[in-house]
Structure 1
Amino acid sequence: MLGRLNDLLGMIKFSHTLFALPFALLGAVLAAHTPEGWQGRPRDWLGILLCMATARSAAMAFNRLADRRIDALNPRTASRHLPSGQLSVASVTLFTLACVVGFVASTCLFLPNPWPLRLSAPVLLWLLGYSYAKRFTSLAHVWLGVALMLAPIAAWIALRGDLAWPPILLGLAVLFWVSGFDIIYACQDADFDRNAGLHSIPARFGVRRALKMAAACHAVMIVVLIALGWAYPLGAVYFVGIGAVTLLLAYEHAIVRPDDLTRVNVAFFQVNIAISMGLLAFSVIDLLI
Protein backbone atom coordinates (compact mmCIF):
# COMPACT_ATOMS: atom_id res chain seq x y z
CA MET A 1 0.00 0.00 0.00
CA LEU A 2 2.77 2.44 0.95
CA GLY A 3 4.66 1.47 -2.18
CA ARG A 4 1.63 2.26 -4.34
CA LEU A 5 1.22 5.62 -2.59
CA ASN A 6 4.87 6.44 -3.22
CA ASP A 7 4.39 5.58 -6.88
CA LEU A 8 1.35 7.84 -7.09
CA LEU A 9 3.19 10.74 -5.46
CA GLY A 10 6.11 10.10 -7.78
CA MET A 11 3.79 10.16 -10.78
CA ILE A 12 2.31 13.56 -9.94
CA LYS A 13 5.68 14.96 -8.80
CA PHE A 14 4.09 16.34 -5.64
CA SER A 15 7.12 18.53 -4.89
CA HIS A 16 6.46 20.49 -8.09
CA THR A 17 3.40 22.01 -6.42
CA LEU A 18 6.02 24.58 -5.38
CA PHE A 19 5.58 26.14 -8.83
CA ALA A 20 2.06 27.41 -8.24
CA LEU A 21 1.60 27.25 -4.46
CA PRO A 22 3.74 30.34 -3.67
CA PHE A 23 1.67 32.43 -6.09
CA ALA A 24 -1.57 31.16 -4.54
CA LEU A 25 -0.18 32.04 -1.12
CA LEU A 26 0.93 35.45 -2.39
CA GLY A 27 -2.58 36.09 -3.68
CA ALA A 28 -3.90 35.14 -0.24
CA VAL A 29 -1.31 37.33 1.52
CA LEU A 30 -2.28 40.35 -0.59
CA ALA A 31 -5.94 39.68 0.20
CA ALA A 32 -5.30 39.20 3.92
CA HIS A 33 -3.19 42.36 4.30
CA THR A 34 -5.57 45.28 4.87
CA PRO A 35 -5.24 48.73 6.48
CA GLU A 36 -7.14 47.33 9.46
CA GLY A 37 -4.66 44.47 9.91
CA TRP A 38 -4.27 40.89 8.75
CA GLN A 39 -7.52 39.12 7.85
CA GLY A 40 -8.39 35.47 7.28
CA ARG A 41 -9.33 32.52 9.48
CA PRO A 42 -6.92 29.64 10.06
CA ARG A 43 -9.28 27.32 8.18
CA ASP A 44 -9.14 29.66 5.15
CA TRP A 45 -5.37 29.16 4.93
CA LEU A 46 -5.82 25.42 5.38
CA GLY A 47 -8.41 25.52 2.59
CA ILE A 48 -5.98 27.26 0.23
CA LEU A 49 -3.30 24.65 0.88
CA LEU A 50 -5.72 21.73 0.44
CA CYS A 51 -7.30 23.18 -2.69
CA MET A 52 -3.90 23.74 -4.27
CA ALA A 53 -2.65 20.25 -3.43
CA THR A 54 -5.80 18.40 -4.54
CA ALA A 55 -6.44 20.46 -7.69
CA ARG A 56 -2.86 20.17 -8.86
CA SER A 57 -2.76 16.43 -8.09
CA ALA A 58 -6.05 15.82 -9.92
CA ALA A 59 -4.82 17.72 -12.98
CA MET A 60 -1.46 15.96 -13.04
CA ALA A 61 -2.94 12.48 -12.61
CA PHE A 62 -5.59 13.13 -15.25
CA ASN A 63 -2.89 14.36 -17.62
CA ARG A 64 -1.01 11.10 -17.16
CA LEU A 65 -4.20 9.17 -17.95
CA ALA A 66 -5.01 11.23 -21.03
CA ASP A 67 -1.44 11.08 -22.36
CA ARG A 68 -0.51 7.50 -21.50
CA ARG A 69 -0.53 6.27 -25.12
CA ILE A 70 1.35 9.34 -26.36
CA ASP A 71 3.85 8.99 -23.52
CA ALA A 72 4.48 5.37 -24.50
CA LEU A 73 5.56 6.48 -27.99
CA ASN A 74 7.85 9.27 -26.83
CA PRO A 75 11.32 8.03 -25.75
CA ARG A 76 11.56 10.86 -23.20
CA THR A 77 8.34 9.84 -21.43
CA ALA A 78 8.12 6.10 -22.08
CA SER A 79 9.41 5.33 -18.58
CA ARG A 80 6.59 7.17 -16.84
CA HIS A 81 4.45 5.17 -14.43
CA LEU A 82 1.53 4.30 -16.71
CA PRO A 83 3.40 3.47 -19.96
CA SER A 84 5.93 1.38 -18.05
CA GLY A 85 3.26 -0.51 -16.09
CA GLN A 86 4.36 0.71 -12.65
CA LEU A 87 0.79 1.91 -12.05
CA SER A 88 -2.51 0.67 -13.44
CA VAL A 89 -5.10 2.80 -15.19
CA ALA A 90 -7.63 1.83 -12.51
CA SER A 91 -5.44 3.02 -9.62
CA VAL A 92 -4.64 6.36 -11.28
CA THR A 93 -8.33 6.85 -12.13
CA LEU A 94 -9.33 6.26 -8.50
CA PHE A 95 -6.59 8.63 -7.34
CA THR A 96 -7.82 11.30 -9.76
CA LEU A 97 -11.41 10.94 -8.55
CA ALA A 98 -10.28 11.11 -4.92
CA CYS A 99 -8.41 14.35 -5.63
CA VAL A 100 -11.41 15.83 -7.43
CA VAL A 101 -13.68 15.02 -4.49
CA GLY A 102 -11.04 16.35 -2.10
CA PHE A 103 -10.81 19.62 -4.02
CA VAL A 104 -14.57 20.22 -3.98
CA ALA A 105 -14.75 19.28 -0.29
CA SER A 106 -11.88 21.66 0.51
CA THR A 107 -13.77 24.62 -0.97
CA CYS A 108 -16.40 24.11 1.74
CA LEU A 109 -13.86 25.32 4.30
CA PHE A 110 -14.41 28.86 2.98
CA LEU A 111 -18.14 28.89 3.78
CA PRO A 112 -20.15 31.07 4.34
CA ASN A 113 -18.29 32.55 1.33
CA PRO A 114 -20.06 30.56 -1.43
CA TRP A 115 -17.83 31.47 -4.38
CA PRO A 116 -15.08 28.84 -4.00
CA LEU A 117 -17.67 26.05 -4.00
CA ARG A 118 -19.63 27.61 -6.89
CA LEU A 119 -16.49 27.99 -8.99
CA SER A 120 -14.99 24.59 -8.16
CA ALA A 121 -16.59 22.80 -11.14
CA PRO A 122 -15.57 25.30 -13.89
CA VAL A 123 -12.07 25.55 -12.40
CA LEU A 124 -11.69 21.77 -12.46
CA LEU A 125 -12.98 21.57 -16.02
CA TRP A 126 -10.37 24.09 -17.14
CA LEU A 127 -7.58 22.31 -15.27
CA LEU A 128 -8.47 18.89 -16.64
CA GLY A 129 -9.17 20.26 -20.11
CA TYR A 130 -5.54 21.28 -20.48
CA SER A 131 -4.64 17.61 -21.00
CA TYR A 132 -6.33 17.69 -24.43
CA ALA A 133 -5.29 21.18 -25.53
CA LYS A 134 -2.18 20.13 -27.45
CA ARG A 135 -4.34 17.91 -29.62
CA PHE A 136 -5.93 20.94 -31.30
CA THR A 137 -4.02 24.17 -30.51
CA SER A 138 -0.45 25.43 -30.36
CA LEU A 139 -1.57 27.69 -27.53
CA ALA A 140 -1.68 24.80 -25.06
CA HIS A 141 1.07 26.63 -23.15
CA VAL A 142 -1.30 29.56 -22.65
CA TRP A 143 -4.02 27.15 -21.49
CA LEU A 144 -1.63 25.91 -18.81
CA GLY A 145 -0.73 29.50 -17.95
CA VAL A 146 -4.39 30.36 -17.39
CA ALA A 147 -4.77 27.23 -15.23
CA LEU A 148 -2.05 28.44 -12.87
CA MET A 149 -3.21 32.05 -13.21
CA LEU A 150 -6.38 30.98 -11.42
CA ALA A 151 -4.43 30.15 -8.23
CA PRO A 152 -3.80 33.70 -6.89
CA ILE A 153 -7.15 34.95 -8.20
CA ALA A 154 -9.00 32.08 -6.50
CA ALA A 155 -7.10 32.67 -3.25
CA TRP A 156 -8.15 36.33 -3.25
CA ILE A 157 -11.79 35.42 -3.93
CA ALA A 158 -11.69 32.78 -1.19
CA LEU A 159 -10.55 35.32 1.41
CA ARG A 160 -12.40 38.43 0.28
CA GLY A 161 -15.33 37.18 -1.76
CA ASP A 162 -14.72 39.75 -4.49
CA LEU A 163 -12.24 40.58 -7.25
CA ALA A 164 -9.84 43.51 -7.67
CA TRP A 165 -6.85 44.58 -9.75
CA PRO A 166 -4.04 43.19 -7.53
CA PRO A 167 -4.98 39.50 -7.96
CA ILE A 168 -5.71 40.05 -11.66
CA LEU A 169 -2.26 41.57 -12.20
CA LEU A 170 -0.61 38.81 -10.18
CA GLY A 171 -2.57 36.26 -12.18
CA LEU A 172 -1.43 37.82 -15.46
CA ALA A 173 2.17 37.66 -14.25
CA VAL A 174 1.69 33.94 -13.57
CA LEU A 175 0.08 33.48 -16.99
CA PHE A 176 3.10 34.89 -18.86
CA TRP A 177 5.60 33.19 -16.56
CA VAL A 178 4.06 29.74 -16.97
CA SER A 179 3.46 30.15 -20.70
CA GLY A 180 7.10 31.11 -21.16
CA PHE A 181 8.64 28.26 -19.21
CA ASP A 182 6.24 25.71 -20.68
CA ILE A 183 7.34 26.78 -24.17
CA ILE A 184 10.94 26.19 -23.08
CA TYR A 185 10.05 22.75 -21.71
CA ALA A 186 8.17 21.81 -24.89
CA CYS A 187 11.28 22.46 -26.98
CA GLN A 188 12.49 19.00 -25.93
CA ASP A 189 9.60 17.38 -27.82
CA ALA A 190 9.40 19.66 -30.87
CA ASP A 191 10.26 16.92 -33.37
CA PHE A 192 8.14 14.28 -31.68
CA ASP A 193 5.10 16.57 -31.43
CA ARG A 194 5.42 17.54 -35.08
CA ASN A 195 5.62 13.91 -36.21
CA ALA A 196 2.80 12.82 -33.90
CA GLY A 197 0.42 15.55 -35.07
CA LEU A 198 0.48 17.31 -31.68
CA HIS A 199 0.49 21.07 -31.36
CA SER A 200 2.99 23.29 -29.58
CA ILE A 201 4.78 26.53 -30.30
CA PRO A 202 8.18 24.80 -30.75
CA ALA A 203 6.62 22.25 -33.11
CA ARG A 204 4.94 24.98 -35.15
CA PHE A 205 7.60 27.69 -35.23
CA GLY A 206 10.82 25.85 -34.45
CA VAL A 207 12.94 25.87 -31.32
CA ARG A 208 14.83 29.10 -32.05
CA ARG A 209 11.68 31.20 -32.55
CA ALA A 210 9.96 29.45 -29.66
CA LEU A 211 12.73 30.45 -27.25
CA LYS A 212 12.37 34.06 -28.40
CA MET A 213 8.62 33.88 -27.73
CA ALA A 214 9.32 32.45 -24.27
CA ALA A 215 11.68 35.35 -23.56
CA ALA A 216 9.00 37.81 -24.69
CA CYS A 217 6.50 36.18 -22.30
CA HIS A 218 8.93 36.58 -19.42
CA ALA A 219 9.61 40.21 -20.31
CA VAL A 220 5.86 40.88 -20.12
CA MET A 221 5.77 39.08 -16.76
CA ILE A 222 8.30 41.55 -15.33
CA VAL A 223 6.28 44.51 -16.62
CA VAL A 224 3.12 43.15 -15.02
CA LEU A 225 4.89 42.52 -11.70
CA ILE A 226 6.05 46.16 -11.72
CA ALA A 227 2.47 47.26 -12.39
CA LEU A 228 1.32 45.13 -9.44
CA GLY A 229 3.85 46.85 -7.19
CA TRP A 230 2.44 50.24 -8.12
CA ALA A 231 -1.22 49.21 -7.99
CA TYR A 232 -1.27 47.43 -4.63
CA PRO A 233 1.01 49.28 -3.60
CA LEU A 234 4.16 47.42 -2.50
CA GLY A 235 7.50 48.83 -1.38
CA ALA A 236 11.22 48.73 -2.05
CA VAL A 237 11.80 45.15 -0.86
CA TYR A 238 9.23 43.87 -3.35
CA PHE A 239 10.95 45.70 -6.21
CA VAL A 240 14.28 44.22 -5.14
CA GLY A 241 12.52 40.86 -5.46
CA ILE A 242 11.50 41.74 -9.01
CA GLY A 243 15.15 42.48 -9.74
CA ALA A 244 16.10 39.03 -8.44
CA VAL A 245 13.37 37.41 -10.55
CA THR A 246 14.65 39.25 -13.62
CA LEU A 247 18.18 37.92 -13.04
CA LEU A 248 16.86 34.37 -12.58
CA LEU A 249 14.87 34.59 -15.81
CA ALA A 250 17.93 35.91 -17.63
CA TYR A 251 19.91 32.94 -16.31
CA GLU A 252 17.13 30.56 -17.39
CA HIS A 253 17.30 31.84 -20.95
CA ALA A 254 21.09 31.88 -20.97
CA ILE A 255 21.41 28.17 -20.16
CA VAL A 256 18.83 27.00 -22.73
CA ARG A 257 19.88 27.52 -26.34
CA PRO A 258 18.50 26.22 -29.64
CA ASP A 259 21.57 24.04 -30.10
CA ASP A 260 21.77 22.91 -26.46
CA LEU A 261 18.64 21.77 -24.61
CA THR A 262 20.50 19.63 -22.09
CA ARG A 263 19.78 22.03 -19.22
CA VAL A 264 16.06 22.47 -19.81
CA ASN A 265 15.25 20.55 -16.62
CA VAL A 266 17.49 22.85 -14.57
CA ALA A 267 15.71 25.87 -16.04
CA PHE A 268 12.26 24.32 -15.69
CA PHE A 269 12.46 22.92 -12.17
CA GLN A 270 15.20 24.55 -10.12
CA VAL A 271 15.13 28.09 -11.50
CA ASN A 272 11.34 28.36 -11.58
CA ILE A 273 10.93 27.09 -8.03
CA ALA A 274 13.47 29.72 -6.96
CA ILE A 275 11.45 32.38 -8.82
CA SER A 276 8.11 31.53 -7.20
CA MET A 277 9.48 30.98 -3.69
CA GLY A 278 11.71 34.04 -3.92
CA LEU A 279 8.97 36.42 -5.05
CA LEU A 280 6.71 35.19 -2.23
CA ALA A 281 9.47 35.72 0.33
CA PHE A 282 10.35 39.24 -0.85
CA SER A 283 6.67 40.23 -0.97
CA VAL A 284 5.88 38.95 2.54
CA ILE A 285 8.96 40.65 3.96
CA ASP A 286 7.92 43.89 2.24
CA LEU A 287 4.44 43.73 3.79
CA LEU A 288 5.73 42.83 7.25
CA ILE A 289 8.13 45.77 7.46
Structure 2
Amino acid sequence: MDRLRAHMNNTAFHHTVFSLPFALMGALLASNGDPPIGDLGWIVLAITAARSAALALDNLADLKYDVQQPRLAYRAMVQGRVSKKEALVFIGVCLFVLVFATLQLHPVCIRLLPFAALPFLIYPYMKRVTGWVHIFLGIAIGMAPAGGWVAVSGSIELPMVVLFIAVALWIAAFDAMYGAQDEAFDRSQGLHSLAVSFGAHGAFRISRVMHILSILCFCVLGGMMHLAWPYFIGVAIAAATLVYQHRIAGPTDFSRVTQMYFMRNGIVSIAIFVFAWISYFV
Protein backbone atom coordinates (compact mmCIF):
# COMPACT_ATOMS: atom_id res chain seq x y z
CA MET A 1 0.00 0.00 0.00
CA ASP A 2 2.88 2.38 0.77
CA ARG A 3 4.36 1.73 -2.68
CA LEU A 4 0.99 2.47 -4.29
CA ARG A 5 0.68 5.73 -2.36
CA ALA A 6 4.21 6.66 -3.41
CA HIS A 7 3.42 6.13 -7.09
CA MET A 8 0.15 8.05 -6.74
CA ASN A 9 2.15 10.89 -5.20
CA ASN A 10 4.73 10.67 -7.98
CA THR A 11 2.04 10.96 -10.65
CA ALA A 12 -0.14 13.49 -8.76
CA PHE A 13 -3.19 11.32 -9.41
CA HIS A 14 -5.57 14.11 -8.35
CA HIS A 15 -4.38 16.16 -11.35
CA THR A 16 -6.54 13.86 -13.51
CA VAL A 17 -9.30 16.39 -12.82
CA PHE A 18 -7.73 18.69 -15.42
CA SER A 19 -7.99 16.26 -18.33
CA LEU A 20 -10.61 13.59 -17.61
CA PRO A 21 -13.75 15.80 -17.50
CA PHE A 22 -12.82 17.31 -20.86
CA ALA A 23 -12.09 13.88 -22.33
CA LEU A 24 -15.61 12.82 -21.32
CA MET A 25 -16.96 16.10 -22.68
CA GLY A 26 -15.35 15.36 -26.04
CA ALA A 27 -17.17 12.02 -26.13
CA LEU A 28 -20.40 13.67 -24.98
CA LEU A 29 -20.38 16.30 -27.72
CA ALA A 30 -19.26 13.90 -30.46
CA SER A 31 -22.18 11.60 -29.66
CA ASN A 32 -24.73 14.42 -29.37
CA GLY A 33 -25.20 13.76 -25.68
CA ASP A 34 -25.41 9.96 -25.77
CA PRO A 35 -21.92 8.39 -25.62
CA PRO A 36 -21.72 4.58 -25.34
CA ILE A 37 -21.08 3.61 -21.71
CA GLY A 38 -18.49 1.04 -22.74
CA ASP A 39 -16.52 3.65 -24.67
CA LEU A 40 -16.56 5.97 -21.67
CA GLY A 41 -14.96 3.29 -19.53
CA TRP A 42 -12.13 2.73 -22.00
CA ILE A 43 -11.66 6.50 -22.40
CA VAL A 44 -11.30 6.89 -18.63
CA LEU A 45 -8.73 4.08 -18.52
CA ALA A 46 -6.77 5.44 -21.50
CA ILE A 47 -6.66 9.02 -20.19
CA THR A 48 -5.71 7.92 -16.67
CA ALA A 49 -2.90 5.73 -18.00
CA ALA A 50 -1.65 8.42 -20.40
CA ARG A 51 -1.45 11.23 -17.88
CA SER A 52 0.08 8.91 -15.24
CA ALA A 53 2.84 7.95 -17.67
CA ALA A 54 3.30 11.61 -18.61
CA LEU A 55 3.65 12.80 -14.98
CA ALA A 56 6.04 9.97 -14.09
CA LEU A 57 8.15 10.81 -17.16
CA ASP A 58 8.14 14.51 -16.28
CA ASN A 59 9.29 13.82 -12.72
CA LEU A 60 11.96 11.42 -13.96
CA ALA A 61 13.30 13.92 -16.49
CA ASP A 62 13.36 16.77 -13.94
CA LEU A 63 14.65 14.84 -10.92
CA LYS A 64 18.07 16.49 -11.00
CA TYR A 65 16.36 19.89 -10.75
CA ASP A 66 13.59 18.90 -8.33
CA VAL A 67 16.02 17.72 -5.64
CA GLN A 68 17.39 21.27 -5.54
CA GLN A 69 13.96 22.89 -5.32
CA PRO A 70 12.67 23.16 -1.69
CA ARG A 71 9.09 23.64 -2.90
CA LEU A 72 9.14 20.11 -4.36
CA ALA A 73 10.60 18.31 -1.35
CA TYR A 74 7.32 16.40 -0.85
CA ARG A 75 7.60 14.50 -4.13
CA ALA A 76 8.10 10.74 -3.89
CA MET A 77 11.09 10.60 -6.24
CA VAL A 78 12.79 13.50 -4.47
CA GLN A 79 12.38 11.65 -1.16
CA GLY A 80 13.63 8.40 -2.69
CA ARG A 81 10.35 6.55 -2.14
CA VAL A 82 10.21 5.82 -5.89
CA SER A 83 13.43 4.87 -7.64
CA LYS A 84 14.31 5.67 -11.26
CA LYS A 85 13.96 1.99 -12.17
CA GLU A 86 10.53 1.77 -10.55
CA ALA A 87 9.45 4.91 -12.39
CA LEU A 88 10.54 3.43 -15.73
CA VAL A 89 8.65 0.19 -15.03
CA PHE A 90 5.58 2.22 -14.03
CA ILE A 91 5.76 4.25 -17.24
CA GLY A 92 6.03 1.05 -19.29
CA VAL A 93 2.99 -0.47 -17.59
CA CYS A 94 0.96 2.71 -18.12
CA LEU A 95 1.87 2.83 -21.80
CA PHE A 96 0.83 -0.82 -22.19
CA VAL A 97 -2.53 -0.05 -20.54
CA LEU A 98 -2.91 3.02 -22.78
CA VAL A 99 -2.38 0.97 -25.94
CA PHE A 100 -4.70 -1.80 -24.74
CA ALA A 101 -7.49 0.65 -23.87
CA THR A 102 -7.05 2.52 -27.16
CA LEU A 103 -7.42 -0.74 -29.11
CA GLN A 104 -10.91 -1.14 -27.61
CA LEU A 105 -12.06 2.16 -29.12
CA HIS A 106 -12.67 3.29 -32.71
CA PRO A 107 -9.99 1.75 -35.00
CA VAL A 108 -8.69 5.16 -36.06
CA CYS A 109 -7.64 5.87 -32.46
CA ILE A 110 -4.69 3.47 -32.45
CA ARG A 111 -3.42 4.97 -35.71
CA LEU A 112 -3.59 8.48 -34.24
CA LEU A 113 -2.14 7.48 -30.85
CA PRO A 114 1.51 8.27 -31.75
CA PHE A 115 0.50 11.83 -32.70
CA ALA A 116 -1.54 12.22 -29.51
CA ALA A 117 1.24 10.82 -27.32
CA LEU A 118 4.08 12.86 -28.83
CA PRO A 119 3.32 16.12 -26.93
CA PHE A 120 3.47 14.49 -23.51
CA LEU A 121 6.63 12.62 -24.45
CA ILE A 122 8.51 15.77 -25.46
CA TYR A 123 6.96 18.24 -22.98
CA PRO A 124 9.34 17.39 -20.07
CA TYR A 125 12.32 18.44 -22.19
CA MET A 126 10.89 21.62 -23.74
CA LYS A 127 11.71 23.75 -20.69
CA ARG A 128 15.33 23.29 -21.73
CA VAL A 129 14.52 24.80 -25.12
CA THR A 130 11.78 27.46 -25.07
CA GLY A 131 9.89 29.78 -22.76
CA TRP A 132 6.69 28.68 -24.48
CA VAL A 133 6.98 25.30 -22.77
CA HIS A 134 3.53 25.87 -21.21
CA ILE A 135 1.93 25.68 -24.66
CA PHE A 136 3.33 22.18 -25.08
CA LEU A 137 1.71 21.15 -21.79
CA GLY A 138 -1.55 22.67 -23.01
CA ILE A 139 -1.32 20.73 -26.26
CA ALA A 140 -0.61 17.50 -24.35
CA ILE A 141 -3.67 17.88 -22.14
CA GLY A 142 -5.75 19.22 -25.03
CA MET A 143 -5.31 15.79 -26.61
CA ALA A 144 -7.66 14.40 -23.93
CA PRO A 145 -10.87 16.01 -25.26
CA ALA A 146 -9.68 15.43 -28.83
CA GLY A 147 -9.14 11.77 -28.01
CA GLY A 148 -12.54 11.48 -26.36
CA TRP A 149 -14.16 12.97 -29.45
CA VAL A 150 -12.37 10.72 -31.94
CA ALA A 151 -12.93 7.65 -29.75
CA VAL A 152 -16.68 8.03 -30.24
CA SER A 153 -17.00 9.60 -33.69
CA GLY A 154 -13.90 8.30 -35.44
CA SER A 155 -13.44 11.68 -37.12
CA ILE A 156 -11.74 15.05 -36.62
CA GLU A 157 -14.22 17.91 -36.83
CA LEU A 158 -14.07 21.67 -36.38
CA PRO A 159 -15.85 21.78 -32.97
CA MET A 160 -13.32 19.24 -31.68
CA VAL A 161 -10.50 21.56 -32.78
CA VAL A 162 -12.14 24.50 -30.99
CA LEU A 163 -12.48 22.41 -27.80
CA PHE A 164 -8.84 21.35 -28.10
CA ILE A 165 -7.68 24.97 -28.45
CA ALA A 166 -9.84 26.12 -25.52
CA VAL A 167 -8.41 23.47 -23.19
CA ALA A 168 -4.83 23.97 -24.41
CA LEU A 169 -4.98 27.73 -23.76
CA TRP A 170 -6.57 27.26 -20.33
CA ILE A 171 -3.90 24.81 -19.21
CA ALA A 172 -0.99 26.78 -20.68
CA ALA A 173 -2.13 29.98 -18.98
CA PHE A 174 -2.50 28.69 -15.45
CA ASP A 175 0.69 26.63 -15.75
CA ALA A 176 2.57 29.80 -16.72
CA MET A 177 1.09 31.64 -13.72
CA TYR A 178 1.92 28.85 -11.31
CA GLY A 179 5.42 28.41 -12.75
CA ALA A 180 6.24 32.12 -12.53
CA GLN A 181 7.10 31.68 -8.86
CA ASP A 182 10.12 29.61 -9.98
CA GLU A 183 11.56 32.36 -12.19
CA ALA A 184 14.75 32.82 -10.14
CA PHE A 185 15.35 29.08 -9.80
CA ASP A 186 14.75 28.46 -13.51
CA ARG A 187 17.20 31.22 -14.46
CA SER A 188 19.84 29.74 -12.16
CA GLN A 189 19.46 26.33 -13.82
CA GLY A 190 19.31 27.57 -17.41
CA LEU A 191 15.66 26.52 -17.76
CA HIS A 192 12.98 28.37 -19.69
CA SER A 193 9.47 29.62 -18.97
CA LEU A 194 7.35 32.61 -19.90
CA ALA A 195 8.48 34.25 -16.66
CA VAL A 196 12.13 33.74 -17.63
CA SER A 197 11.51 35.06 -21.14
CA PHE A 198 9.23 38.01 -20.34
CA GLY A 199 9.45 38.44 -16.58
CA ALA A 200 6.70 37.52 -14.13
CA HIS A 201 4.64 40.57 -15.14
CA GLY A 202 4.83 39.55 -18.79
CA ALA A 203 3.93 35.95 -17.97
CA PHE A 204 0.81 37.06 -16.10
CA ARG A 205 -0.24 39.41 -18.91
CA ILE A 206 0.15 36.66 -21.51
CA SER A 207 -1.75 34.24 -19.25
CA ARG A 208 -4.60 36.72 -18.92
CA VAL A 209 -4.90 36.96 -22.71
CA MET A 210 -4.80 33.19 -23.09
CA HIS A 211 -7.54 32.75 -20.49
CA ILE A 212 -9.75 35.29 -22.24
CA LEU A 213 -9.24 33.49 -25.56
CA SER A 214 -9.96 30.16 -23.88
CA ILE A 215 -13.32 31.34 -22.52
CA LEU A 216 -14.20 32.82 -25.91
CA CYS A 217 -13.43 29.46 -27.53
CA PHE A 218 -15.70 27.69 -25.04
CA CYS A 219 -18.48 30.17 -25.91
CA VAL A 220 -17.94 29.63 -29.64
CA LEU A 221 -18.04 25.88 -29.08
CA GLY A 222 -21.41 26.17 -27.36
CA GLY A 223 -22.79 28.08 -30.34
CA MET A 224 -21.35 25.63 -32.87
CA MET A 225 -22.86 22.65 -31.01
CA HIS A 226 -26.18 24.45 -30.34
CA LEU A 227 -25.87 23.69 -26.63
CA ALA A 228 -28.65 24.87 -24.34
CA TRP A 229 -28.35 27.64 -21.77
CA PRO A 230 -27.03 25.51 -18.86
CA TYR A 231 -23.76 25.03 -20.74
CA PHE A 232 -23.14 28.77 -20.68
CA ILE A 233 -23.72 28.80 -16.92
CA GLY A 234 -20.84 26.33 -16.69
CA VAL A 235 -18.68 28.59 -18.84
CA ALA A 236 -19.61 31.56 -16.64
CA ILE A 237 -18.56 29.62 -13.52
CA ALA A 238 -15.29 28.76 -15.23
CA ALA A 239 -14.72 32.40 -16.19
CA ALA A 240 -15.48 33.58 -12.65
CA THR A 241 -12.99 31.03 -11.29
CA LEU A 242 -10.27 32.31 -13.59
CA VAL A 243 -11.00 35.94 -12.72
CA TYR A 244 -10.71 35.03 -9.03
CA GLN A 245 -7.40 33.23 -9.66
CA HIS A 246 -5.99 36.31 -11.35
CA ARG A 247 -7.22 38.59 -8.56
CA ILE A 248 -5.65 36.68 -5.66
CA ALA A 249 -2.22 36.18 -7.24
CA GLY A 250 0.13 38.44 -9.11
CA PRO A 251 3.70 38.74 -10.33
CA THR A 252 4.83 40.36 -7.07
CA ASP A 253 2.89 38.20 -4.61
CA PHE A 254 2.98 34.40 -4.78
CA SER A 255 1.88 33.82 -1.19
CA ARG A 256 -1.45 32.38 -2.32
CA VAL A 257 -0.03 30.40 -5.24
CA THR A 258 -0.30 27.09 -3.39
CA GLN A 259 -1.43 23.57 -4.27
CA MET A 260 -4.97 24.73 -3.43
CA TYR A 261 -4.55 27.55 -5.94
CA PHE A 262 -3.35 25.02 -8.51
CA MET A 263 -6.16 22.54 -7.87
CA ARG A 264 -8.86 25.23 -7.88
CA ASN A 265 -8.47 25.28 -11.64
CA GLY A 266 -10.24 21.93 -11.65
CA ILE A 267 -13.47 23.85 -11.13
CA VAL A 268 -13.16 24.95 -14.76
CA SER A 269 -13.12 21.44 -16.24
CA ILE A 270 -15.77 20.07 -13.89
CA ALA A 271 -18.18 22.98 -14.31
CA ILE A 272 -18.00 23.08 -18.09
CA PHE A 273 -18.37 19.30 -18.46
CA VAL A 274 -21.23 18.95 -15.94
CA PHE A 275 -23.24 21.83 -17.38
CA ALA A 276 -22.60 20.64 -20.94
CA TRP A 277 -24.07 17.29 -19.91
CA ILE A 278 -27.05 19.00 -18.23
CA SER A 279 -27.69 21.05 -21.36
CA TYR A 280 -28.74 17.89 -23.21
CA PHE A 281 -31.63 17.43 -20.77
CA VAL A 282 -33.06 20.91 -21.39
Q: Smaller-chain TM-score range?
A: over 0.9
Count of residue pairs brought into register by the alignment = 281
Q: Distance in 2 between matches of 1:237 and 1:60?
A: 33
Query: What TM-score, normalized to structure 2?
Result: 0.96
Give 1:19's aligned residue.
18
Q: Which residue identity lines up with residue 22 of structure 1 in the other structure?
A: P
Q: TM-score, normalised by structure 1?
A: 0.94
In structure 2, the residue matched to 1:287 is 280
- 1-side partners of 2:234 and 2:19: how far apart? 17
Aligned twin of 1:7: 6
Pick from 83, 103, 116 the counterpart of residue 98 of structure 2.
Answer: 103
Instruction: Output the CA distance in 2 between the equivalents of 1:84 and 1:242.
Output: 40
Deviations 1:177-230 (A, max 9, x none): 011001011111111101110010011111111111111110001111111111
Q: Distance in 1 between matches of 2:21 and 2:256?
A: 24
Aligned partner of 1:87 in structure 2 is 82
**Matches for 1:116-155 after TM superposition, within 5 Å:** 116-155=109-148
Match of 1:269 among 263, 268, 275: 263
Partner of 2:45: 50
* Equivalent AA in structure 2 for residue 109 of structure 1: Q
The CA deviation string for residues 139-158 of structure 1, in whole angstroms up to 9 with x for no partner, is 11000011111111111111
Amino acid at match of 1:137: T
Structure 1 stretches lacking a partner, 5+ long: none
Secondary structure class of the residue paired with 2:75: coil
Contact 2:21-2:270 at 8 Å conserved across structures:
yes
Whole-angstrom distance in 2 between the partners of 1:224 and 1:79? 36
Higher mean C-alpha deviation, range 48-57 or range 65-74? 65-74
1:205 corresponds to 2:198: yes
Which piece of structure 1 moves more, 59-68 or 80-89?
80-89
**Take 2:262 and 2:280, find their aligned partners in 1: how far apart are those partners?**
29
Match in the other structure for 2:29? 30
Once residues 8 and 160 of structure 1 are traced to their aligned partners in structure 2, the CA distance between those partners, rounded to angstroms, is 34
Contact persistence 2:119–2:137 (CA under 8 A)? no
Identity of aligned residues (%): 35
- Contact residue 255 and residue 267 of structure 1 kept, 8 A: no
Structure 1 residue 235 and structure 2 residue 228: aligned?
yes
Partners in 2 of 1:55 and 1:191 — Cα distance?
31
Contact in 1 for aligned 2:163/2:221 (Cα 8 Å): yes
Cα distance in 1 for partners of 2:36, 2:171 equals 30
The one of 165, 168, 172 aligned to 1:172: 165
In the alignment, does 2:247 pair up with 1:248? no
2:6 aligned partner, one-letter code: D
- Contact between 1:194 and 1:204, CA under 8 Å: does it hold in 2? no
Partner of 1:159: 152
Tell me the distance in 2 between the aligned counterparts of 1:62 and 1:257.
30
- Following superposition, the deviation at residue 174 of structure 1 comes to 0.3
Long gaps (5+) in structure 2 = none
What's the secondary structure of 1:138's corresponding residue? coil
SS at match of 1:82: helix
Cα RMSD after superposing both structures: 1.2
Structure 1 residue 237: Cα displacement: 1.2
Give the 3-state SS of the residue equivalent to 2:280 in structure 1: helix
Displacement of 1:73 after TM fit?
Answer: 1.7
**Residue of structure 2 equivalent to 1:61:** 56
Between the aligned partners of 1:250 and 1:125, the Cα distance in structure 2 is 32
